Amino acid sequence: MLKVGLISLGCARNLVDSEIILGSLKAEGFSVGGSVLFSDICIINTCAFIGPAREESVDTILRAVCLKKEGRIKKLVVCGCLPQAYPETLPEGLKEVDLFVGTSDFPKIGALIKKISGTRTISAVSKKLDYLYDENSPRFRLSPKHYAFVKISEGCSNFCSYCVISRLRGALRSRSIASVAREIEDISASGKLKEINLIGQDTTVFGKDRYGKAALDRLLLKITGLDNSVEWIRILYTHPAHYTDSLIDVIAGEGKICKYLDVPIQHISDSVLKRMNRRVSEKDIRSLIDKLKNRITGLALRTSVIVGFPGETEKDFKKLFNFVKEAKFNRLGAFVYSKEDGTPSSRMKNDIPEKLKEERFGLIMELAKSISLEANRRLVGRRLRVLIDDKDKDLRGVFTGRTESDAPDTDGTVYVSGKSLAIGKFYDVLITGALEYDLEGKAG
């Protein structure tokens, strides 16, 4: 039995793909889930969203090539976004790789691996991007048993001017409400699942292609009504242009839905937003944030911004900086603009010097850090409900967990001291200390 080890790079959407890849291989008789160092076949599921992600993917591939040359692995498979982005040049530059698999070719990976001969590189990168997994797709879970990511759609039809997703993943393809509900029922059958994280390139537009209009509100009502062990339903990757009053009402009114929203604004300057093709204005963003805060009690807002977009003036950046300072987002991530070949923004003039981009990035992140620390200090002395994720690897008697305001692998951690705490259980935690992004607390 051939042993397969997999390295999953990038976001949670890629993680779900990796679980589908391993699930299909296990169903075909492969041994999966072990360390790459003890595997016959090394699979790298790559990310190519921005320059740093591509660099990480290439570096990981090159390290695996070294392992292959040393005889520590026999076959090397590269999957996902990087082969999809460079279907012709990648095989030419990385001849040591045995198989390249595109983003719509995951279902046939087992058959392709069996065809590896060792004498030539196989490239299976379809131009037609139409793959969409469902509840019947075999899946080998890589996340802990108490939380899972469920991808409700694939691809994107927003066409932001800086983004390569439509080229790597195709147009929006939504699963059916019934399919998502059945998958959640299957995952939660063990009774250990406590948290569902709904993901997609843009979850707020879920169902528009299938039902004629966005149906995230309908999906949420369906899955909140399921009889299972899930207590948190979290919505990630939303777009500010696609919120509806009905969706906001459902989020506000359903107890299982986390009062946490990930709303990437990317910028606040109208001129920059227009060049980004974000389809929202400063007025729209301000109105939405006010509406969300007013209608959803206890809301925690996460956002992301891009600095150094072509033509971003000092005035544009100051407007963004001041808005972040004013809005006081609970969580914020910033990205330095990365020019992506083939995107409309890559042809725009007035590039921002790299040094200036990094300066602006540093200013935004320092501001976000101070806002987060201030907010965390206000929590000291309060009791919060915390879901325990793991034991701390360095501190004896300390566990790591999250509040409702923290998404897994993205936001802050609560370091909880306590005896005999169980992973995957909720605890009432007294917050005793505040760090820049994390909290300290005591259970009981």
53 and 107 in a common domain: yes
Q: How many CB atoms within 10 Å of residue 69?
A: 10
129 lies in a domain? no
CA quadruple 348, 350, 355, 358: dihedral positive or negative? negative
271 and 411 in a common domain: no
136 lies in a domain? no
**Smallest Cα–Cα separation from 217: which of 228, 233, 194?**
233
β-strand 383-391 against 398-402: which pairing, if any? antiparallel
* Two structure tokens written together for 211: 């039902």
Q: What is the pLDDT of residue 9?
A: 96
Kindly state the average pLDDT of the residues 204-214.
97
76 and 59 in a common domain: yes
* Two structure tokens written together for 369: 């850090």
**Smallest Cα–Cα separation from 365: which of 398, 406, 320, 397?**
320
Alpha helices by DSSP H, listed for 10-149, are 12-27, 51-69, 81-85, 89-93, 109-114
The domain tally of the chain equals 3
Longest CA–CA separation in the chain, Å: 65
Can you tell me which residue has the tokens 């915390």? Answer: 386
161 and 305 in a common domain: yes
pLDDT for residue 117 is more than 80: no
Question: Under a CB-based contact definition with an 8 Å cutoff, are residues 155 and 172 in contact?
Answer: yes
CATH classification at residue 249 = 3.80.30.20
CATH classification at residue 59 = 3.40.50.12160
Summarised one tens digit per residue, pLDDT across range 313-353 is: 999 999 999 999 999 999 999 999 999 989 999 999 999 99
Can you tell me which residue has the tokens 């987060």? Answer: 372
427 and 399 in a common domain: yes
Kindly state the average pLDDT of the residues 129-142.
95
Please give the residue range of the domain that contains residue 424: 383-443
- Which of 362, 377, 392 is at the close of a domain? 377
Q: If you average pLDDT over every residue of the chain, what do you get? A: 95
260 and 197 in a common domain: yes
Question: Under a CB-based contact definition with an 8 Å cutoff, are residues 202 and 235 in contact?
Answer: no
161 and 57 in a common domain: no
139 lies in a domain? no
186 lies in a domain? yes
- Percent of the chain whose predicted confidence (pLDDT) is above 90: 92
Predicted model pTM: 0.94
Summarised one tens digit per residue, pLDDT across range 280-295 is: 999 999 999 999 999 9
